[in-house]
Chains A and B, each alone.
Chain A
Amino acid sequence: MSSSGSLLFSINNEGKVYALSTSGSCWREFMYLGLEFKTLSAVPHYLWAVGGDRQIYLHVHGLEIPIRVKEESYENERWLPLEGFSGRLLPTDRYHFSSQDGTVDKSIDRIRLPSMAWQWEGDWQLELTLDGQPLDHDGWSYAVDFPAQFGPVKQWKSCVRRRKWIRYRKFSAMNSWCAIAPLHKDPTQEPFIDVCIGGNQIPYAAPGTLSVWAITAHGRVMYRAGVGTTSPEGLKWINVSIPPNCDIKQISVGPTGLVWAMLWTGRAIIRKGITKDCPTGEAWLEVKSPSETKLSVMSVGYNAVWAVSSDTRVWFRKGIDGNMAGNSETAAMGSGWLEITGNMINISVGINDQVFAIGESDKCIYWRSGITPSELTGKRWRMVQANMQLSRTSSSASVISSASNAKHHSLSMLSENTPELKSNIKLHNSWEESHSAPIEHTLPIKPPKEILPKNNTIIDNIDLTGKSYETTLKNPRAWSPVRSVGSVVGMEAQPDSDSSVFDVDSGMYFDEEVSQTAWGTCDTTWSFVEAGACSIDPMQIPHWFTDSYNVHNSDLTAKWRLQILDCLKNRNTYQDVDLSNYGVAIEEKGWTRSCEARLVTTNNSIEDCILSLYWHALENTGTLSVFQPDGTIKFILNLGEVTSVISSSEPGCPRVNLSTPRQNNENIKVQFISEMEQEEWLSVLVDIISQINGLSSKPSENSVWAVTSSGDVLNWDLMPMRQNPEENELHSKEFQVFGKYALSGFTTNLYNNFPPGSIFKITGSLNDEIKRFHVNLQGPEIKKQRHKIETEVTEIALHFNVRFDESTVVCNTKMFGNWGVEERHPLPLAPGQEFSITIHCNNQGFKITVNDKIYCFYEHRLSPESITSASVQGPLKLYTMVYSTTNIIIDPDEMIWRMMGGYLRKVECCQNGITWGISHDHRVWVYTGGWGGGALKGLGGNEGINSMTDTQTYCVYENQRWNPLSGYTSTGLPTDRYMWSDITGKHKRTREHTKLINRHWHWISEWMIDYNTPGGVDSDGWQYATDFPAPYHGKKIFTDCVRRRRWYRKAQIITEGPWIRAGSTALLDISLWNNDDEVLVWAVTIGGDAIYRTCVTTASPTGNHWEHVKNPQTLIAISTSNYIVWAVGRKGELYYREGICKENPGGTNWKLIEAPKYNYPFSHKTSVGAKFVSLNANAAWVLLSNGAIAIRTDISQAQQDGKQWKYLTDCDMLFKDVSSIEQEVWAVSTDGHLHRRLGVTAENPIGTSWQRVLSSSLVHVSARGSSL
């Protein structure tokens, strides 16, 4: 089961719970633990239920990393003259142990686990850093007095000190039913009849908010306070009063928190005024039922309420607006009932207002198809037809299992293997012995021995504070949950043999076929359906519907289809016909395509033009001609010279960008008339350019990936270049110089430097009046700041100067800007002559040949590795210039960047081809090996192309200034920023003018005020400051003259690409490194936790599951190489993970790394934190928060934190991304250009200079696959 699927839950007529995954096609039964269930309610990962014993149970599932909560407490001490620092504080001081602001007493011995479902993770620990700076071993930080700035150093005036204790607790009842405390000591006194969960999308509420409502048998309505994603069980029940004479039997809460309740009399009441600040609402309102109809079941969605009446008719409530429901009675009540065809007995509204119901006559589950935001009533009911997992307890199942396999052994043996059944029941009957201690969360794949706890031992080391619950039970049958709040109702009993509903994600290689064998069809009669966690993509509906014409997956294996395919394949075998003299009927012809478009010039002006594309597939040539509107030619571009085609659309301006580095550095920008046309041209151009360059299949393992600012994924593959013909094992590059006049100098890059074995050769002809000319093999240009900024070459390894005026040849070397001792040789050439000069580099020096005669030898004075370019200057004409080296020459002019398809924020790869991506909504994707999708259509076939979605948030800021007369208004000073602006205030941004970039995007929310803006906000979302670019705060104070608030709106893109979801955990950063087939994948979750993926190999690139690693600080970035892991903390500090090896891939503990002390010349700040790291075998390239790069060198297994920091001095470029592996370092500068570091060697890990390899607007690069 892939965890990317969501789940539809239902209860059959025997009270057993089943789940159906949207990515699967089989109902899987929940482990039966002797407890039937009455009702269920779910949001993704959280399921609440009323059991057959009328108590409430919670089931948390499908989370790949544990729920962890950090408890923290500050220990405060004051210095007293005699005693020194002590815990005795002044009466006016804060508590000895307190919260950070000192207002709350937080004695650590009183911080307890909330329930038995929680476990401590280790003991209390001291935090030993302050803002990334290490503290001494006791962790104290010092200040003059309490509400002051604390610093790491004790000074004479430090009167108080404090240190921070932290301890993590973990929710250990994952993947199991967990009892919720009853209302009274005797649980039978007031049992429950209904429970519901929702509220995961309450407008403006903090992320992670959930709301749970329940009905007791006495008809009381209870709200569960404190429920959230990190506190799944919440804190306590709060009684919500109901109007007199209202006897409630059912309650439903929608994603926006809207609550409807159903009375026994068949009427409905709703709760008005539920907002983020008032989760229980204000008052009840009655809703009229459809005339002469008693409603029986009802379910609340986002913008919809559906109900079923006692005569099994189906009703839709129109006019509900979930976003407004908290403030508007009409939005909460809707405007009227609409009868929908069909007869149902139960109904449930899921994500996106999709509706499921149970048919009255057949008790089957139906899905309402065709529901869209604009058509909430849908089109028709479609029966969900999925196979059943054969139940060990169900009587109606009939075994159609054809073969048994290990995994399902226990299932196919069920009928005869009754002892197993008994053991389950025994487990249930006897569980009060084991429930007294929470059972550690274990993944079902682990052997059972580890799961069954030895209570005695665990009780010893676990601080269990639920003391009041420790009374032992005399009669095991009279069990009551009051004694075991949060305790776990059994675990998976046979984890090896059971196919759990919550099977850990087995990725895309899940063998559906094998698992099918133990599944059978049986007529289940359902009594309850719950869709609250079920997310159906109307574009790609699950394979649940046999009436669908879309079930091609079953068609693919159908006998008739295989028969047809077989016949089709066989018909093309003409045994007796000799085909050699048969011509081709349709000859390959070139084709043309043209359209009117606009050319965007460098200064952003727009010229009309006519584009005409000519392409001849057989000759593999193509041209793009650009004409003026009157038909005269502007220019004609040989498509062989285009190195990248990317989309560069802006809202309303569908554009394509072509890079032609050989022509000029400026990209060609074309704006099309429509998006459709832009997409067609984009896919045609990408296709043609890939064909010209022989790129069609999956890129090789060593290719480099990049992501553009429009989210397109680019790939550059070295392999096709590597196949170029080679001469004597040397790679050569001929520069296009014929006829170039070198009077003012001609300089060219030597991309691989000039190591021994390299050859540089020029031919040309000298002018008749030539006096001097020279050939330099030199280092990079260094920027110097004298009167103005100018560049100079300070390192020239070989200066070969032919002086006709002095009749001599001078050879010399420039070091640190100073010439050395000259070596002079007789003149070998005459003016006006044709000549050739060849320079061979060997270990000792340069062997120089003039006109094919060995001329002289010049010993190395500088390492030839430092040579980055060659320069020829003098009055001469060049004919040829050839550069040959032992390594493959990577010329940026020949790098073809192929658009691969998909929409991502980040792509990371390693050297065996496994490639992972992260989208803007932090979801994780794995490259499938395909090519195309989205605008590219099916370029490389449809193989591996999957549908993808991504969500991005658009923000605008509303700015206001205070004036004495009218208070805050949107009239600012003339010097002020725009009153509606972006975050910088420099660009005008209004809500009305915020447009989506193309038709694949659509809004999924309205404009909303962001109440979670960093810095804090007031109740209207405003944050205040003294003046505009000043720090903002949430509380208005006297000196504040301006305020701003952030509005946001979410948009979603629906596209396709060669990517597949891997796991459901949201990630910030990911890093891959491989040792042959075995791959280390480390990642940082959105919550800042470090995790690593198990069992990632080339055969299963999605791996198995995430393993969580404890980390004391929240992290933002991570990198791994060579079994070393570095991570960046939120405050810019760097850590490495100690003790990682094959046997212990998680390592043992985090160690702080000395921070880089980088003085950036134009910056005021003396120390800046890290924000990103890329680790290679012996150095770590660290991107600092100001965009500069620091390099930690001499990293080894023995010295994992390296020895010293080095900085790039050759340029003042700033970067937004860097990626390094072995001796390859690639980076994206802040202006979006891609650069490759030249001259990186083991001896010189920081390299010599940057080479620009792609001028485009990139955001990310990963060169972690390259291996040269």
Chain B
Amino acid sequence: MANDREVLREIWDGKLPICFQLDQEEIMEIQQPDPFYVMVPRLSYFPLVTDKMKRHFLRFISQENADNEMWLDYNGQPLKWHYPIGFLYDLYCGNDPQLPWMLTVHFTKFPEDILLHCPNKDVVEAHYMSTVKEADVLKHRGQVMSTMQKKDHNQLWLGLQNDKFDQFWAINRRLMESHGDNEGFKHIPIRIYADDGVCNQRLVNPKNTDGSRKVLQQMINEIYPERINVKLKTHGIVLPLDTPLQWLSEHMSYPDNFLHLCLC
């Protein structure tokens, strides 16, 4: 059970100051647009928080591009909208923190080969829900999601979209419960990314064979037996290696119910 409210709240309240700037090549006006400053929840997704920013920059671009899909890059690296914002920051700036996070806004030259299209928020919701389902399959063989009603799914999504902790956790706590005699999850939904963004997803059991709680170090030993001094970062912090995986999954998963960890 995810019952450490203090940690949950702290993670939920994590925000990043971001400075958006329009790509110089796309500015069609004589007047330079002001950069757009905004505090963004780490747990959210870019399409959910960029409406205002988009309106801000639309005035400065050529009208023929106004209907194009907007995309973002950091240091020339296009940002995938389907990852949580906080994770993207940890991935690209984790080792060299810079605040505010300077991002460039584009309306042209959509990098089709790198990014998925995101015509509207429904696509984000669909992607989000499918990730939650995938996580539930790993944790409970999909039993929790299938017993939930449509409105529960809705509440989960609205809670995330509107930054409502209680609304979100009222539902998410059911996803974070262990079933059957507190044995913990079946598997831990976890994705580990190298700094090049390559994802490594394995089946990870929350328990060791002797029934004791598996901690982070033990998992690292299994996945990277050859590497020493592995550090994993998420939510902007380096995780202590003796943290139990079950606890980590319950408390430090992103809203999509996955642990997104960055190797560093």
Q: Which residues of A contact B (CB under 8 A)?
A: 369-370, 379-380, 547-550, 552, 555-556, 559-561, 563-565, 567-569, 571-572, 574, 576-577, 579, 581-586, 589, 591, 937-938, 941-942
Q: Are B4 and A556 in contact (CB under 8 A)?
A: yes
Tell me which residues from 33 to 61 in chain B have a Cβ below 8 Å from any Cβ of chain A.
Answer: 36-41, 44, 48-49, 52
Q: Are B181 and A370 in contact (CB under 8 A)?
A: yes
Q: B162 near A: Cβ within 8 Å?
A: yes
Chain B positions within 8 Å of A565 at CB level: 6-7, 10
* Given known A-B contacts A369-B181, A568-B7, A572-B13, A586 and B41 have beta carbons under 8 A apart: yes
Over the window 180-217 of chain B, the binary record of Cβ atoms lying under 8 Å from chain A Cβ atoms (1 yes, 0 no) is 11111000000000000000000000100001110000
* Given known A-B contacts A565-B6, A569-B10, A585 and B39 have beta carbons under 8 A apart: yes
Q: Are A582 and B1 in contact (CB under 8 A)?
A: no
- Bound: A941/B166 CA distance, A: 9
Chain B positions within 8 Å of A370 at CB level: 181
* Given known A-B contacts A560-B240, A565-B7, A584 and B37 have beta carbons under 8 A apart: no
Q: Are A560 and B178 in contact (CB under 8 A)?
A: no
13 more CB-based (< 8 A) A-B contacts, given A572-B15, A577-B100, A589-B162: A549-B213, A564-B7, A564-B237, A568-B10, A568-B11, A568-B14, A568-B236, A574-B99, A574-B100, A576-B99, A582-B38, A585-B38, A591-B158
Give the size range of B's interface with the partner.
Answer: 35 or more
* Given known A-B contacts A379-B181, A547-B211, A560-B243, A555 and B17 have beta carbons under 8 A apart: no
Q: B258 near A: Cβ within 8 Å?
A: no
Q: Are A577 and B41 in contact (CB under 8 A)?
A: no
Q: Are B39 and A560 in contact (CB under 8 A)?
A: no
Chain B positions within 8 Å of A585 at CB level: 38-41, 44, 49, 52
Q: Are A583 and B39 in contact (CB under 8 A)?
A: yes
- Least distance between B92 CB and chain A CB atoms (Å): 16
Over the window 155-189 of chain B, the binary record of Cβ atoms lying under 8 Å from chain A Cβ atoms (1 yes, 0 no) is 00010011100100010000000101111100000
- Our pick among A568, A574, A586 for the contact of B237 (Cβ within 8 Å) is A568
Q: B239 near A: Cβ within 8 Å?
A: yes
- Bound: A565/B13 CA distance, A: 13
Q: Are B242 and A559 in contact (CB under 8 A)?
A: yes
- Bound: A591/B237 CA distance, A: 34
- Interface centre among A556, A571, A581, by most B CB within 10 Å? A571
- Least distance between A219 CB and chain B CB atoms (Å): 42
Q: B115 near A: Cβ within 8 Å?
A: no
- Least distance between B202 CB and chain A CB atoms (Å): 21
Chain A positions within 8 Å of B211 at CB level: 547
Q: Are A549 and B38 in contact (CB under 8 A)?
A: no
Chain B positions within 8 Å of A563 at CB level: 240
Q: Are B5 and A941 in contact (CB under 8 A)?
A: yes
- Our pick among B39, B162, B166, B183 for the contact of A582 (Cβ within 8 Å) is B39
Closest to B240 in A: A560
Q: Are B10 and A560 in contact (CB under 8 A)?
A: no
Chain B positions within 8 Å of A564 at CB level: 7, 237, 239-240, 243, 252
Q: Are A550 and B7 in contact (CB under 8 A)?
A: no
- Our pick among A561, A576, A584 for the contact of B4 (Cβ within 8 Å) is A561
Q: B235 near A: Cβ within 8 Å?
A: yes
List 14 A-B residue pairs with CB atoms under 8 Å apart, sorted by A's residue number.
Answer: A549-B182, A549-B244, A556-B4, A561-B7, A567-B237, A568-B237, A571-B236, A572-B13, A577-B17, A579-B39, A582-B37, A583-B37, A583-B38, A941-B5
Q: Please give me the 8 A-B residue pairs with the lowest Cβ-Cβ distance, nearest first.
A: A567-B237, A560-B240, A585-B49, A568-B10, A571-B236, A586-B163, A560-B243, A585-B40
- Interface centre among B158, B180, B182, B252, by most A CB within 10 Å? B182
- Bound: A772/B71 CA distance, A: 79
- Least distance between B252 CB and chain A CB atoms (Å): 8
Q: Are A582 and B6 in contact (CB under 8 A)?
A: no
- Least distance between A369 CB and chain B CB atoms (Å): 5
- Our pick among B17, B158, B163, B182 for the contact of A550 (Cβ within 8 Å) is B182
Q: Are B240 and A586 in contact (CB under 8 A)?
A: no
- Bound: A685/B52 CA distance, A: 32
- Least distance between B42 CB and chain A CB atoms (Å): 9
Tell me which residues from 10 to 40 in chain B have a Cβ below 8 Å from any Cβ of chain A.
Answer: 10-11, 13-15, 17, 36-40
Q: Are B1 and A568 in contact (CB under 8 A)?
A: no
Over the window 209-244 of chain B, the binary record of Cβ atoms lying under 8 Å from chain A Cβ atoms (1 yes, 0 no) is 001110000000000000000000001111110111
Closest to A382 in B: B181
Q: Which residues of B contact A (CB under 8 A)?
A: 1, 3-7, 10-11, 13-15, 17, 36-41, 44, 48-49, 52, 99-100, 158, 161-163, 166, 170, 178, 180-184, 206, 211-213, 235-240, 242-244, 246-247, 252
Chain B positions within 8 Å of A552 at CB level: 1, 3-4
Closest to A585 in B: B49
Chain A positions within 8 Å of B39 at CB level: 579, 582-585
- Bound: A547/B178 CA distance, A: 14
- Least distance between B7 CB and chain A CB atoms (Å): 6
- Bound: A569/B237 CA distance, A: 10
Closest to B238 in A: A567
- Our pick among A549, A561, A586, A941 for the contact of B162 (Cβ within 8 Å) is A586
Q: Are A582 and B17 in contact (CB under 8 A)?
A: yes
- Bound: A1213/B245 CA distance, A: 64
- Least distance between B211 CB and chain A CB atoms (Å): 6
- Least distance between B213 CB and chain A CB atoms (Å): 7
Q: Are A548 and B182 in contact (CB under 8 A)?
A: yes
Q: Are B4 and A586 in contact (CB under 8 A)?
A: no
- Least distance between B127 CB and chain A CB atoms (Å): 18
Chain B positions within 8 Å of A582 at CB level: 17, 37-39, 100
- Bound: A559/B239 CA distance, A: 12
- Bound: A556/B212 CA distance, A: 18
Closest to A583 in B: B38
Chain A positions within 8 Å of B10 at CB level: 565, 568-569
- Interface centre among A552, A568, A937, by most B CB within 10 Å? A568
Chain A positions within 8 Å of B242 at CB level: 559-560
Chain B positions within 8 Å of A579 at CB level: 17, 39
- Interface centre among A370, A548, A549, A571, by most B CB within 10 Å? A549
- Least distance between A591 CB and chain B CB atoms (Å): 7
- Bound: A240/B36 CA distance, A: 92
- Bound: A585/B206 CA distance, A: 36
- Least distance between A577 CB and chain B CB atoms (Å): 5
Q: Are B49 and A586 in contact (CB under 8 A)?
A: yes
- Bound: A1135/B211 CA distance, A: 63
- Our pick among A569, A581, A937 for the contact of B170 (Cβ within 8 Å) is A937
- Bound: A1147/B200 CA distance, A: 75
Q: Are B235 and A568 in contact (CB under 8 A)?
A: yes
Q: Are B14 and A571 in contact (CB under 8 A)?
A: yes
- Interface centre among A552, A564, A938, by most B CB within 10 Å? A564
Chain B positions within 8 Å of A560 at CB level: 239-240, 242-243
* Given known A-B contacts A564-B7, A585-B49, A549 and B184 have beta carbons under 8 A apart: yes
- Bound: A941/B5 CA distance, A: 8
Chain A positions within 8 Å of B178 at CB level: 549
* Given known A-B contacts A559-B242, A568-B10, A547 and B212 have beta carbons under 8 A apart: yes
Chain B positions within 8 Å of A571 at CB level: 14, 235-237
- Our pick among A555, A586, A941 for the contact of B247 (Cβ within 8 Å) is A555
Chain B positions within 8 Å of A584 at CB level: 38-39
- Bound: A561/B246 CA distance, A: 13
Closest to A943 in B: B5
- Bound: A577/B238 CA distance, A: 22
- Bound: A942/B4 CA distance, A: 9
- Bound: A563/B240 CA distance, A: 7
Chain A positions within 8 Å of B247 at CB level: 549, 555, 561
- Bound: A583/B211 CA distance, A: 49
Chain B positions within 8 Å of A556 at CB level: 4
- Least distance between A857 CB and chain B CB atoms (Å): 59
- Least distance between A546 CB and chain B CB atoms (Å): 8
Chain A positions within 8 Å of B213 at CB level: 549
- Bound: A370/B158 CA distance, A: 36
- Least distance between B250 CB and chain A CB atoms (Å): 9
- Interface centre among A560, A567, A591, by most B CB within 10 Å? A560
